[in-house]
Amino acid sequence: MSEQITIEKSLRDWASRVKAGQVGALPAILGLLVLCIAFSSQSSVFLTPGNFANLLTQAAAITVIAMGLVFVLLLGEIDLSAGYAAGVCGAILVIMITEMDYAWYLALPASILIGVVLGAFIGYLVAQLRIPSFVVTLATFLAFQGLLLLLVSEGGTIRIEDPTILAVQNKNLPVTASWIFFALTAGVYVLSGLWKFARRRKAGLVDNLFKFWLIKTAILVSLGCLATLALTVERSNNPDLVSLRGIPFVVPVILVLLVGATFVLSRTSFGLHLYAVGGNAEAARRAGINVKMVRISAFMICSGFAAVAGMIFVSRANSVSPTTGGSSTLLYAVGAAVIGGTSLFGGKGKVSDAILGGLVVAVIDNGMALLGYPAGIKFMVTGGVLLLSASIDAFSRRGATAT
């Protein structure tokens, strides 16, 4: 009896939050669902394990950039150069490995470090000189594009043959390892959640969200289980020649980034300060927060993520070219973050939003390509979806402030 009441109550709490404009990830989840149903009804290929694995690797790089962008967007700033930062860092990685013969475990941290330095430069200009981030990163967008061109030399590409880097986008975890990975992830997720609730109960604090959390966790774990199942099915056309089974390596890479970034944002004071600066920078300053440092760090983190995305790009393409991380990359990444529910006005958003949004963008891309639509239509639909989610964000802000 009492349990039913708490479920009802937590659902009611949640409903009232949605009504008050705190919709969070709901539109993205619904959108993803609608898109998946629509595409799978139109195309027989869409819902196959092979296409699912393909989708994940397609979404990976943009999702990682979007995850980094969340830190900057939380401050109400933007980084237009994150795409080319990925390109530059990818080029440095490839040059270090292919032309200078460094091992990947030296080259990868070096390229990420360079990304962080690029971010520090942008952050310094934004935080110290107070140049609008739009202008600073527009300038660095052009500059990084030029730098990439100089590094790779016009029209050329540099191949990468390092097996570890290539494995990230081209190889899969073995089947047993896939299941162990799933069990570990699910276990850690459930245990950390339970631990949090246990601590709250020990401190004598009331909780009406526990049942809600249970439902959410059950859904997430079964989805994860389903995805693992799909990915461990043989998806090679010719299994005797080459076997294609297991979770793509890029998935654990993204998951580690997700856990790390979520931990920083939701459990540390630095994360809280990021939200505070995005919500009310003046209040944050008066509370004794070093607003400048927070701003600079956000840009450093953003470009650091972009460097990881650069590695994912070169792994997928087996090479780096002057267009790596160019064309619509950055716009797709911003789109992914915003579609997932991150506010362009600052102060609202989660890293997991970027993953949801990244999936939405990739599903549109993938599904429409399968249905044979031309690229023009694809871009227009993606633009429409982005516009839709930005309007939801604007409306929810209005709903939240009207008291």
The site for another protein (CB under 8 A) is made up of: 20, 22, 199-200, 202-205, 267-269, 272-273, 275-276, 278-280, 282-284, 286-289, 347-348, 400-401, 403
Smallest separation (angstroms) from another protein to the CB of 265 = 11
Smallest separation (angstroms) from another protein to the CB of 337 = 16
Smallest separation (angstroms) from another protein to the CB of 199 = 5
Other residues' Cβ atoms within 10 Å of the Cβ of residue 153: 10
Q: Which is nearer to another protein, 107 or 265 (CB)?
A: 265
Given a contact cutoff of 8 angstroms between Cβ atoms, the answer to whether 332 and 59 are in contact is no
Smallest separation (angstroms) from another protein to the CB of 196 = 8
Q: What is the gyration radius of the CA atoms in the chain, in angstroms? A: 22
Cα–Cα distance measured from residue 330 to residue 143, given in angstroms and rounded to the nearest whole number: 15
Smallest separation (angstroms) from another protein to the CB of 34 = 29
Return all residues near 290 (Cβ < 8 A) that are at least 6 apart: none
Q: Which is nearer to another protein, 227 or 392 (CB)?
A: 392
Cα–Cα distance measured from residue 188 to residue 182, given in angstroms and rounded to the nearest whole number: 10
Q: Which is nearer to another protein, 22 or 48 (CB)?
A: 22
DSSP state for residue 95 in the 8-state scheme: I
Smallest separation (angstroms) from another protein to the CB of 400 = 5
Q: Which is nearer to another protein, 5 or 117 (CB)?
A: 5
List the one residue out of 291, 262, 389 whose CA is nearest residue 337.
Answer: 389
Rounded to 5 degrees, what are φ and ψ at 121?
-65, -50
Q: Which is nearer to another protein, 16 or 153 (CB)?
A: 16
Q: Which is nearer to another protein, 171 or 285 (CB)?
A: 285
Cα–Cα distance measured from residue 263 to residue 106, given in angstroms and rounded to the nearest whole number: 26
